Amino acid sequence: MPSTPAAAAANLREGLAIEIKGLSVAYGNQRAVDSIDLEVFCGEVVGFLGPNGAGKTTTMRALLDLLRPDAGTLRVFGEDPRKAGGALRARLGFLPGDLALFPGLSGRQNLDLFANLYGGRSQARDAVLERLGFRRDALDWKLRKYSTGMRQMIGIAVAFQHEPDLLVLDEPTTGLDPLVREAFLQLIRDRASAGRTVLFSSHVLAEVEDCADRVALIDRGRLLAVEDMETFRRRLPRKVILRRANGEVEVIPFQGSPRDLVQALENCGLDDAVDVEVRPAVLNEVFRAIIREGQEDSP
C-alpha cells in the first residue's frame, strides 16, 4: 500500500482509466455515436465538449454499462464494464445530465441511500458540500423543496462522496451559480491532483478551458478531435475588438498563441487604440473551424 498521499496519487496515475475503441450506438435508425475511439489516462481531466445531441451522454452511459453499444469495445481500468460488476462500479462516480434523485427523501437521506449502495459513508461528503457552500440545515429538507442548484449540489456530493477513482460527470454545472461553479471546478482540479481521473461533458467552452488537461470534441456522434488544452486553445477562433480614439471599432479575427495576438495587434497599429477586448470563442464557431480544417486536410 502507498504510504503517502503523493505515492497513492502516483499509483493512480499509471495506465489507462478509459479505453474506447470503435464505439457505435444507434437508437433505431438514428446513429447517436459512430465509431468513437478515445483514451483517457489515469489522473487526467478530460473535457468532453459538444453541442446538444452530439453523443456525449450516450458515450458516458455506455461507459457505465447503462447503455449497451452496438459495436466496439469499452474498458474502464482495464475491465469490461458489462462483465466487471459491482467492484468496478464502486470505483466510479457518476452525475447524470438529467439528474433525478428521490424528492420524497431529504437531501441527507438521498446521500445516505447512495453512500450505503456504495458501501458506507465517508468523510468526503461533508467536505464536498462545505466547499460548494451548501447550507447545512437544508440537508434535512425534503428534496422537493430544493432549488435546481441545490439539487445539483446533492447530485455532485452523490458522485464524490465515496471518493471514486474515476468521475464521469455529464454537464455537471447545470443550474449552478457562478460562485458554486467556480468552487466545483476547483474541486475537479483537486481530485485530479490527488490522482483521480475525471471525464466531464459540457457545452460551455470556458469550463473545459478552466480545468481540463485534454479536450475531446464530439459532434453528431463523431469524435472530431482529442487534443491537449494548449493545442486546443491555439485553434480557438477568437475575435479581438479594437476601439480607436476616433470611435472606429475594428474586429480582428484571431487564432493562435498570445505571441501571435501581440503581433496581430501591432500589425493593426495601436497608437490611437483606446481599448482592446478579446472575445472568448463560441462553441459552434470552434466546431465550424474544426470541421472546415478537416475538410481542407482531406484529399
Provide, rounded to whole angstroms, the least separation between the CB of residue 101 and other proteins: 6
Q: Which stretch binds other proteins (CB under 8 A): 100-108, 132-140, 259-267, 270-278?
A: 100-108
Q: Which stretch binds other proteins (CB under 8 A): 98-106, 192-200, 218-226, 278-286?
A: 98-106
- Is 66 a binder of other proteins (CB under 8 A)? yes
Distance CA 59, CA 37 (A): 11
DSSP state of 280: P
Chain residues 216-275 in contact with other proteins, contact rule CB under 8 A: none
Options 14, 15, 68, 135; binder of other proteins; rule CB under 8 A: 68
Residue 220: how many other CB atoms lie within 10 Å: 16
Q: Tell me the per-residue interface mask from 120 to 159 with other proteins, x by CB under 8 A, - otherwise.
A: --------------------------------------x-
In angstroms, what CA-CA distances link 139 with 12, 29, 105, 130, 159? 32, 44, 10, 12, 16
DSSP state of 204: -
Q: Beginning with the edge strand found earlier in the chain, give each strand of the sheet holding 71-76 in spatial order.
A: 30-41, 16-27, 71-76
Cα-Cα end-to-end distance for the chain: 53
Q: Which one, 61 or 238, has the nearer CB to other proteins?
A: 61
- Is 102 a binder of other proteins (CB under 8 A)? yes
Options 116, 148, 231, 263; binder of other proteins; rule CB under 8 A: 116
Provide, rounded to whole angstroms, the least separation between the CB of residue 92 and other proteins: 7
Distance CA 279, CA 207 (A): 15
Options 8, 9, 16, 64; binder of other proteins; rule CB under 8 A: 64
- Is 92 a binder of other proteins (CB under 8 A)? yes
Chain residues 160-179 in contact with other proteins, contact rule CB under 8 A: 168
- Is 119 a binder of other proteins (CB under 8 A)? yes
Q: Which one, 20 or 169, has the nearer CB to other proteins?
A: 169
**Residue in 245, 235, 96, 252 with CA at minimum distance from that of residue 174:** 96
Exposure string over 224-238, b if 16+ CB within 10 A, otherwise e: bbbbebeebbebbeb
C-alpha cell at 273: 487604440
Provide, rounded to whole angstroms, the least separation between the CB of residue 157 and other proteins: 12
Residue type, 198: V
Distance CA 254, CA 240 (A): 7
Distance CA 90, CA 19 (A): 18
Distance CA 105, CA 99 (A): 15
Provide, rounded to whole angstroms, the least separation between the CB of residue 94 and other proteins: 4
Q: Which one, 47 or 96, has the nearer CB to other proteins?
A: 96
- Is 86 a binder of other proteins (CB under 8 A)? yes
Chain residues that interact with other proteins, rule: CB under 8 A: 61, 64-68, 85-87, 89-90, 92, 94, 96, 98-102, 104, 113-114, 116-119, 158, 168
